[in-house]
Amino acid sequence: MTETKERKQNMLKIGNKEFEKLVGMAPLAGITDSSFRKIIKERGCQFSFTEMVSAKGIYYKDPKTEELLHIDPEEGLVGAQIFGRDPEILSKVIKENLNHREDIFSIDLNMCCPAPKVVKNGDGSALMKEPETAERIINAMVESSTKPVSVKFRLGWDEENINFLEIGKICEKAGVSFVTLHPRTRKAFYAGKADWDSIRMLKEELNIPVMGNGDLFSKEDIEKMFRHTLCDGVFVGRGALQNPNIFGEGESLSLQKIVELIKKHYSLKIAQKGERRAIPEMRKHIAWYLKGVPNSNPLKNKINTENNLQTIFRLLEEFEREQE
């Protein structure tokens, strides 16, 4: 067999797309909006998702929810991540609101979010406690969608209720295109170490693609996850917030490049949402971009209370000069 044919056989196929080695961005609420997706696409991200979107919000035509589904062509391949627990509503929004949209490549069900405000309604990772309900939801989504459907889930609700293999098999039986495992329980939130062994276990049990997620903070971490788990692809989370170059060569950003990146991110976010909203929203991004930069805490504190864009840019430029 020629090398080209062998590589073709090993390609990951999702819908009508093929990937030699998929490194994408996990959906993060309040982070992975259109502006951030453009930033990471430029740096080599192959596949990203919208922020988590409420199926009920889409169903009732909530304007804030609809804004979360804003996608521009420069973002590349984007999946819509939705959450909910009513199979009929999920089915209806897929058929009426998502199927016709050419800018949405795939639809992902969130069974992973541990946030109390999501879990208290039985959504997100609360569905780990209800495999039968999850099965009805996943079946309804696959039956309704003309796009690839995927599911992201955790190990289980807590250490006494580990059921990720059961959920994985439900997904496979329903016909989902791939699954993503964040190998912590809901009780753990993001504490402790991600259990990569469980990703490998899931990969060994299923015949559909399995994506890994959790504790990916460098290019080396990504390579280690591929080797350790034999997963078909990875979705980076918090690691991309500090260094978006993780999707490419993974090189660290100099202070000059960080300042340039922050300014560019501001301009993209302002273009989408206006200055008044963009300035407070950028604060959490700046905290990540400047994480680990020596002497940057006073700068972050000043930016957190500043609402004038020109003043923020001046503070960044002064800090850059002071560190030379």
Answer whether 278's CB lies under 8 Å from 266's CB. yes
Return the C-alpha torsion angle 240, 242, 245, 250, nearest 10.
Answer: -100
The pair of three-digit structure tokens given for residue 115, joined into one six-digit string: 């946030």
Find how far residue 159's CA is from the centre of its chain: 24
Neighbours of 105 (CB within 10 A): 21
Residue 243 in tokens = 């260094």
Pair of tokens at residue 161: 């209720």
Question: Which of the following is catalytic: 45, 112, 113, 171?
Answer: 113
Cα 5 from chain centre: 32
* Residue 113 designated active-site: yes
Tokens coding 298? 């006073």
Start-to-end CA distance of the chain, whole Å, equals: 55
How many other CB atoms sit within 10 Å of the CB of residue 61? Answer: 9
Q: Report the alpha-carbon distance of residue 128 to residue 157 in Å, rounded.
A: 6
Residues assigned a catalytic role: 113
